[in-house]
Amino acid sequence: MKKYIIAIFIFTTLQSYSQYNNNGMRNQGQNQMMQTPDKPADPDFKIERYLGIVIYDIEKAAKKSGIKLSSDEGKKFSSLLTTYNKEIKDIRRINSFTLKSTKEMIDNYQKNVAKTGDFSNQTKVRLEMASNLKPISDTLKKEDKELDKSIKALLSEKQYKKWIKYNRKIYKVFPKEKKE
């Protein structure tokens, strides 16, 4: 009888100890998940997304637009996007210094604001950014209008709608033509 009582005592002690440890570990894990990081993430202004610079993956763009690359229409589509990608890469390469310096200026401003909470230079930074990026933006708009005209002439209405939907997903918006 003593053996049974000792066995039951040991068994219940071990069971309560293990339950205590599991709850302790669970609470510890929950506390770790709720902790905030020591410092906020560094600012990373996506200047190419801001300007609408997109280098197309031709196969993916054709698939999303409902075009078969093996057809004549698909070959024309592929050549249009290849030419567009080359021109955009050239624009990006030529203006790389301006893009990099503007990105650094904005990131430094955001870091400074995060430290001090001082937004007094916001207008100055925004105007400087706009003046730096205006020529690049104008060139990109011109290229985008040409691509949009060519694509619109090439694709059916249904395929063109799919093309526009795909571009919205990758944060690309084509400028509207002014009707006079």
pLDDT means over runs of 10, the chain (180 residues): 80 71 56 62 86 92 92 94 96 95 93 88 92 94 92 93 90 68
Q: How far is CA 79 from CA 56, 87, 154, in A?
A: 12, 12, 12
Give pLDDT tens digits for 146-174. 999 999 999 999 999 999 999 888 888 87
Q: pTM of the full predicted structure? A: 0.72
User: Contact 67/159 with Cβ under 8 angstroms?
Assistant: yes
DSSP the chain: -HHHHHHHHHHHHHHHHHHHHHHHHHHHHHHHHHPPPSSPPPP---HHHHHT-----HHHHHHHHT--TTSHHHHHHHHHHHHHHHHHHHHHHHTHHHHHHHHHHHHHHHHHHHHH---TTHHHHHHHHHHHHHHHHHHHHHHHHHHHHHHHHHS-HHHHHHHHHHHHHTT--PPPPPP-
| Residue 174: half-sphere exposure toward Cβ, Cα within 13 Å | 20
What integer pLDDT is reported at residue 180 of this predicted model? 45
